[in-house]
Amino acid sequence: MRRTGGLRRRLLAGIGTMTVLFLAVLVVMLVAIRELRGTDERAAQTARVVVATSRVQGALQALEPVLRDYVRDPSLRNRAVLTRLVATLDRRLTLAEETIDSHPEPGTAAIRRELVDAQRYVHGTARPILALAPSNLPTVGELAVREEAAERTGVRLSQLVDGQRDTLLPRRERTGRLAELAEYVGVVGIVATILLVVGCLLYMRRAVLGPLGRVADTARAIAAGDLNARVGAEHGGTGEVAELAQTFDQMGASLQESRSRLERQNAELENRGAELVDAVRSAREGASVLRAVLDATPDAIALLDSNGVPIVDNPPMRAVRKAFGPRATAIDQHGTLLPLDLGHEAGESRDEITLLGTRRAFARYAAPVHDSHGRLIGRLLVLREVTGEREAERVKEEFFALVSHELRTPLTAILGYVELVLGEHAREDAADEEQIRHLQIVERNAHRLLRLVGDLLFAAQVESGSLLLDPGIVDLPQITREAVEGARPRAEDAGILLSAKIEPVEPCVGDRDRIAQVFDNLISNALKFTPSDGHVEVRLSSDGGQARIEVSDTGVGVPAEEQARLFDRFFRASNATARAVPGVGLGLMIVRAIVAAHGGEIAVSSEVGVGTTFTVRLPLTTSRRPDGRVLAPVAYRDRPPEDGDYSADG
């Protein structure tokens, strides 16, 4: 297998070589050009210095005869000539100094000193002579002494100028050599670059363009339908192009294999198509059967979309919607108005409703329906009419209430006469103890039967919504003590320790008898399910504006799966039935109803074999006037006092 990356490395090597060569040529040419420029500038500066110095030398040589002529003949004409020459010499001296100072070069410092001497001669000799009167001019002999110094300065300037001229030739020769070098390097660089470019092009043609052309020819053949066309390893070039050719051949082989596989799949699809036709036929037959079953179901069933429009429904549902309208309104058990189809609800729900404006009741079930991918299809709505069942329950409740009331009157009379007879026997010393024991048994069972009748009557009031409270100021600590003391004889007879922890709690508003019934039922229930040597504890405290009542026991406990049903009517835990504990399952139902009527709540926590704790929370809804009296808010309906209020246990 060819090693990948070879072509890339070769191309990068070629490009890198050309780049390095180009940069090297460029650097050499830049250095040569820089040297040429420096040499030219220095030569030009030297030439300027030579010219300026030569002009100063010439003016200085011309000054001597003019100065002698003026000393011999201080005429106006000679004075004018001398004045012009002195001014010219000053200008040339200044220009020469500026030229030397602008670009100092080796050897120009000596010229600069000689120029200073020349300037000293001009200002020390020529100008003072011009300033003298003709009668005070020096003699020619005196002037000759000064001219000797000027001549020496001129000779030295001449020598220095000759020296500067001698430096010009080597610099010009160096400039020529640098120019030749730059030209040579440029030519070599251009030739080498051309050769490299030509080599790269030839290599690209052989290693890239040719193989790519063969790949393109093969691609056109495959596009025309010849899936057997291949580039071939011997024509695939090198490096990445060879890898491309090999991959292209593999792609052609894959396409050929895919075509064969597609042909096989087409044959399979044809067979499956026939099977699907049979399946669709069977599905239609199954749908017809399901439709028949749905139509034969007495319950009203519909699958609704998000707008409440039926996707699928059966005749009973169509009859309900036709009779009450698609947007019918219902009332649930709590008196809340809800739409019949519950189209806005998202989760599963079960409830019982009564259609608004009618006496027809329905058990309703609603739940979302999703397809196999989890997408929401719609909402299932099932209505089962329970009007007859509710009417039967109403009649039953009325019957219970009537029977309870009718039984209560004779039981009260029986208890009265039994108590009267027992009182008479108590006053007679010779009373038959056996008769007294029999009468006491009659009294206890009559009281028990009276309590049972009272519980049935109370349950009927709760179910019918006719439970009324007699609100007043309730002293919870006092009620707690009374309930504990009232149950203590029973606890002592059973060998159970009954204790109480009572904290100060503000008075609350409520029905004193009903709240006392809560204490009695919970304590009685705890004593029934606690064995001998057990412990029942009653705790009263306040917690965040609420009264907290706890009744704990070390009894048999309640299984976790049954705790949610403890407050249902006529429900008894499995261990209560197994232990033959007396009761009909109304005590806790009555407790919950009384607590709820007072705006409170009740909870239970229990563990089998450890014990049970019932926790009641009642709101402390009292307020105080400035004089300290307790005011009760209007939170309950008043009811007329009734005789025969009772405290029942379950």
Q: Taking a C-beta distance cutoff of 8 angstroms, is the pair 175, 39 a contact?
A: yes
pLDDT the model gives residue 338: 60
Q: Taking a C-beta distance cutoff of 8 angstroms, is the pair 208, 241 a contact?
A: yes
Tell me the residue type at 34.
Answer: R
Sign of the CA dihedral with 159 first, then 161, 162, and 167 last = positive
Which residues in the chain show pLDDT less than 50?
A: 1-3, 430, 580, 622-650
pLDDT the model gives residue 54: 76
pLDDT the model gives residue 600: 92
Looking at domain 6-203, its CATH class is mainly alpha
Residues ≥6 apart with Cβ < 8 Å to 136: none
Radius of gyration of the chain (CA): 64
pLDDT the model gives residue 57: 74
- Rounded distance between C-alpha atoms, residue 621 and residue 630, angstroms: 10
Q: If 0-12 CB within 10 Å is exposed, 13-18 middle and 19+ buried, where does residue 361 land?
A: buried
CA angle 440, 445, 446 (to 5 degrees): 95
Is domain 467-631 classified as CATH 3.30.565.10?
yes
pLDDT the model gives residue 1: 44
Q: Which CATH architecture has domain 297-385?
A: 2-Layer Sandwich (3.30)
pLDDT the model gives residue 142: 60
For the record, the structure tokens of 546 come out as: 């609420």
Q: If 0-12 CB within 10 Å is exposed, 13-18 middle and 19+ buried, where does residue 87 land?
A: exposed
pTM above 0.85, yes or no: no
Tell me the residue type at 151.
Answer: E
pLDDT the model gives residue 375: 85
Q: Taking a C-beta distance cutoff of 8 angstroms, is the pair 541, 503 a contact?
A: yes
Q: Is 410 helix (H, G, I), strand (E, B) or coil?
A: helix
